Structure 1
Amino acid sequence: MDEPTNEQKPNEKVITIDKAKCIGCGLCVTTCQDVFELGDDGKAHVKDAAACANSNCQEAIDECPAKAISWEEEQEEKKE
């Protein structure tokens, strides 16, 4: 049987930030500093989505005052 890995598999959910909604409060960075960072634009960015495996990303989603953070289905890359 194959061992599970930390690599994301196709169609798994990944953490995303809606930049149009983000107010740059930094609460997500405080909650999950391994996952999020504030960029030069003053908005939160996902720096390491895979770190959600060891962080409480759901808390960051729940606590975001702008409701800018969500889980989205990861799209499998199209092979040509």
Structure 2
Amino acid sequence: MPIIVNIDVMLAKRKMQSKELAEILDITQANLSILKTGKAKGIRFDTLAAICEALKCQPGDILVYEPGSIQGT
């Protein structure tokens, strides 16, 4: 999948733990992990908006298109 998910990068920049973000988003840590590792098949726009609000960032800070890349391998 040529979409790279940089939630970990933004978490580090904001000095926030995954557990805290999961609580803010009201999702399980397991589901957040699936998003972070790029194993999710998709993401709802309201979830993406909530992540951006919590991390005070733009969608492009979290999702990056890199042709030919394979994440999670």
Q: Same fold (TM over 0.5)?
A: no
Specify the structure having the higher radius of gyration (Cα): 1
Q: Quick one: higher RCO (CA 8 Å, sep 6+), 1 or 2?
A: 2
Normalising by structure 1, what TM-score? 0.42
| Higher-strand-fraction structure | 1
